[in-house]
Chain A
Amino acid sequence: MEKIIALTDYKNRFGSKHFDVPYRSGMDKQALRVIFANWNIEIEFVQFADLINNLSHYSKDAYYIYTSSEDINYYYKSFIEDVIYYLELLDYKIISSYKYLNSEVFMELLMLGLSYKHTLSTKIFGSFEESYRIINTYLKEMNTGPLYGIFTDEIIDYCKKHKKTVNFHYYI
């Protein structure tokens, strides 16, 4: 019998679901148990911290699926990233790979690395200062006029409003 270990957060929540009961409790774990059992797969739910602090108890033969987090400022998500990256380095069978857990910035980088023809041209910045400098240079070079200028202003306003360094991607 194959085994899946599903990694849950500190609330023992796995995944996200729109009509979840209780509210914001994620997928129905009992339903997952039944569905996987029908495929002759056993599923065990383990919290990230329990797994990482008792790793010798968990086999590399199992498959590991996991939840992510959209907590404010991604503090808890950064912990999940640490754990998943670590498991991947140790050759645990992770579904999906660490690179798919990453941010929207990285999602764009992943797409840029693909060989198909891109319909969206993406610029990626780590801070307002970078976007300001690079977008202005770009606009100057392209001589694109006010159409793009309006879009640039929106970004500048956004950054000023948030008054902090933010990661974002920008479509031109």
Chain B
Amino acid sequence: MIKSIVLLTDYKGFFCSKQKTLIYKGGMDISKINQLFVDKGYEVKIMSVSAIDYGYLQQKNPYIIYTSSEDKYGFYKSYIEDIVFDMEQRGFRLIPNYVYLKAHNNKVAMELLRMRSSFEKIQSIQSSTYGCYEELLQKEQLQNFPLVIKTASGAMSRGVAKAENKKELLKIAKVLSKSFDIKHDIKEILRKIRYGNTYKKESFNRMKFITQNLITDLENDYKVLVYGDKAYVLYRGNRKNDFRASGSGKFDFVEQLPQSMLDYAYSIKEFFKVSHISLDIGFDGTNFHLIEFQFLYFGTTTLEKAPHYFLWDKHKKTWSLIKETSDLEEVYVYSIVEFIEQKL
């Protein structure tokens, strides 16, 4: 029986993210993905998230790959989440599962996923999560400074800051969690005037955020993308006098890596049982630290610009350096097919 894949696009007809696109922010080349799956013996059906043919899904029981969104405030992403969650509830086969979509561009969900996991290798960073500034304010014991504070959404180090003490933490959190809405805020002030001290006004700082311990003395991190048994690594130096590496522009595709880093990265992908993963890894000279991780719709520059990649040999348990460039769609399809074949 021919295997079937359904690819779900957004309202623009785009799928996932890609840096080098023909249309600006146009995502991956869908026709190329289609052809690559066909070459592997799959039947491909492309549907929009809002026009899913459930009859087809019930008849064919395909694997479903889907896009996410990084729209401002996550309005459209919340819609995709509704659809994907519903499909998971109905028992359809999603790649990746809903839990990984939820963690996309949502550091609260990502950290909860980390906390839930029993995987000790990724526990060196411990986080607290908050839905608003007031929740942090009410917390009596804030310790282990310096702390890193991050808004739930945001890439390239946006919404990330360091706090050396409680005072600084509260000040930064108040700014980062601001959820300004003039109508809402005025209404709340008027309510407060009308109802007096008994009325507790709604928070003006409801952008959820996390705090976590800072791994000190890191001069860089590594962006590692693992697709199936292929790993792509980008060295990212910190910004000047800063603890943040993402978005610094100090990038290098290095061949020499800290020993076992690829094993570390691959073990995380295997732990989460996904086809591909994006990891931000710090190395302090002794231990590796998983700073952030994503499962879909992550930046792909590390793959697209890489002059080489590392290939894992499952039998020999070794990594080889392959000095050739890669094509995103080819590697993406390769990882999905490998993932499906492993499941069968």
Interface residues of A, Cβ cutoff 8 Å to B: 9-11, 13, 21-25, 47-50, 52-53, 55, 71-76, 78-80, 82-83, 85-86, 89-90, 99, 102-103, 105-106, 109-110, 113, 124-127, 129-131, 134, 164-167
Partner among B116, B139, B183, B200 whose Cβ is within 8 Å of the Cβ of A25? B200
Identify the closest chain A residue to B179 (Cβ).
A75
Q: A78-B74, A82-B106, A127-B76 are in contact. Are A22 and B82 (CB under 8 A)?
A: no
Please give the number of chain B residues whose Cβ is less than 8 angstroms from any Cβ of chain A in the complex. Answer: 54
Partner among B12, B74, B113, B200 whose Cβ is within 8 Å of the Cβ of A129? B12
Q: Which residues of B contact A105 (CB under 8 A)?
A: 79, 82-83
Whether the pair B99, A10 counts as a contact (CB closer than 8 A) is no
Interface membership of B268, Cβ < 8 A: no
Whether the pair B50, A167 counts as a contact (CB closer than 8 A) is no
Identify the closest chain A residue to B48 (Cβ).
A130
**In the complex, what's the smallest C-beta–C-beta distance from B285 to chain A, in angstroms?**
30
Identify the closest chain B residue to A10 (Cβ).
B134
Mask, B94-135, CB within 8 Å of A = 1, is 000001001000101100110110000000000011111011
Whether the pair A23, B198 counts as a contact (CB closer than 8 A) is yes
Q: A75-B179, A89-B99 are in contact. Are A10 and B135 (CB under 8 A)?
A: yes
Whether the pair A10, B184 counts as a contact (CB closer than 8 A) is no
A22 to B191, CA, bound (A): 12
List 8 additional contacts besides A22-B195, A99-B85, A130-B50; criterion CB under 8 Å.
Answer: A9-B131, A10-B138, A73-B179, A79-B129, A126-B83, A134-B51, A165-B71, A167-B79
Q: Which residues of B contact A22 (CB under 8 A)?
A: 195, 198-200
Identify the closest chain A residue to B131 (Cβ).
A79
A113 to B52, CA, bound (A): 14
Q: Which of A11, A24, A76, A90 has the most C-beta atoms of chain B within 10 angstroms of its own C-beta? A: A76
